[in-house]
Amino acid sequence: MALVKTPSTLVHSQPALDDAEVARIRNDFPVLETTVHGKPLVYLDSGATSQHPRTVLEAEQEFYEHRNAAVHRGAHELAVRATDAYEDARVSVAQFVGASPDEIVWTSNATEAINLVAYALGTATAWAERGRGGDSMRALALGPGDEIVVTELEHHANLIPWQELAFRTGATLRWIPVDDDGRLRMDEAERLIGPRTRVLAFAHASNVLGSVAPVEELVALARRVGALTVLDACQSAPHMPLDLKALDVDFAAFSGHKMLAPTGIGALYGRRELLDALPPFLVGGSMITTVTMERAEYLPAPQRFEAGTQRISQAVAFAAAVDYLSQIGVERVHAWEAGLGARLAEGVAGIQGVRLLGPQPGEEWHGSGRIGLTAFDVEGVHAHDVGQYLDNAGIAVRVGHHCAQPLHRRLGLTASTRASAYLYTTTAEVEAFLGALGEVRGYFGVAR
């Protein structure tokens, strides 16, 4: 799988991250100084939402203090400064993922980004039925006999929009199954992705298993039949070098709040020609060229999909977040987290009565190791009780089905506990977590 960064962001000369540098990095994150239940916070829930360095917090505050105005609307100097900041942020985020600025659409989060694509494809079907948009719209339209393919690994945000698109258009939703361990069945992928496939949507990295998808193989299968590819990059963009052009996907979605940025901001990447061909998702001001009482004409992408007052300060802070990651070096972050993920997997798998989900220690699925994330099931103890015990020890983890009910059901579970690391996680914190996890079954009286 290609994990290639653009030359401008490659870091060749910096040494690997170590605990000493991570300790210095932690000083940039005010919330990590927090105590919970009288104990220092051990934050192992970055897979759900990350924490923010001061530079990100300051970037948003600086915008409001010195440049706050509506973008793309005013001719006065403050509006020009606000618009410049907003569009400069688009350039920064685009460079971070190997895209062109006009291929990045601001959204509220990755969920909205995926819904944007699914809804726009449904609208293309309606437009084509009414003779609007010509051949380009007919090429995007779906109908009975067409198929949308996802995987059994998907977060609900990359499953339900496609269920609804299938319902609206009469297309059929199919999915690539996983085996008993959760590994994607690539033999089934080759069988399922065929001439009727119009869309293939899949996660780059599983938010439950920590496994990395065989992107090149899946994209090649889709290209063979002319299907569109939609990549959920929520668990990859924050943690590994990412070049969406090199991965050759048509669309990709990622969220700012998982990569040091505020909540309320995400991005959709789309090939320029596809974004310009898609009908809009939301309509109103700022995304039109001409409006009469009968109809409207729409701007090219990305403004085509950015109706109304935009997430201006959040976009500025998003740019500060990717700048922070770039300065540290995404390759270094990825290597550090890979080491933490390996230790988490080894430690969890070594505790009696605890079932590690996903790749086992030393395993590589589809030619890739795991990201710095582990989910597990503690025999005889509900995931919520595990989470409560760890929380009392000052350790924050995620519990539940992690918005992936079908995958949990396939693995014979209703819920699991998940620990997820990031660039500010220390090896001492991982060891503290493993020590506390080893006490859980004894505390609840189920240890043998």
Retrieve residue 2's tokens.
């290609």
- Residue 105, token pair as written in the block: 């659409």
Q: What is the DSSP letter of 13?
A: S
Phi, psi angle pair for 19, to nearest 5°: -60, -35
Residues 130, 133, 139, 142, Cα dihedral to 10°: -40
Q: Give the up-direction half-sphere exposure of residue 447: CA atoms within 13 A in the CB hemisphere.
A: 10
SS (H, E, C) 343-366: HHHHHHHCCCCEEECCCCCCCCEC
Residue type, 257: H
CA–CA dist 236, 254 (Å, integer): 8
Query: Two tokens at 177?
Result: 């199954």
Token representation of residue 169? 């258009």
Contact predicate 433/42, CB 8 Å:
yes
> What would the DSSP string read from start to end of 222-286?
HHHHT-EEEEE-TTTTTTS---HHHHT-SEEEEEGGGTTSPTT-EEEEE-HHHHHHSPPSS-STT
Q: Which helix (H) or strand (E) holds 290?
A: strand 288-291
State the catalytic residue, choosing from 80, 160, 349, 403: 403
Amino acid making up residue 319: A
Residue 325, both tokens: 């990651």
Amino acid at 51: Q
In angstroms, the CA 377 to CA 408 distance is 11
Q: Which two tokens stand for residue 431?
A: 């060891």
Q: Which three-class secondary structure state does DSSP give residue 126? A: helix
What are the Cα distances from residue 103, in Å, to 26, 210, 244? 33, 28, 11
d(CA 397, CA 47): 9
Give the whole-angstrom CA distance, residue 275 versus residue 277.
5
Rounded Cα–Cα distance for residues 245 and 44 (Å)? 31
Strands 147-151 and 197-203: parallel
Residue 234 is a catalytic residue:
no
Instruction: Please list the active-site residues.
Output: 403
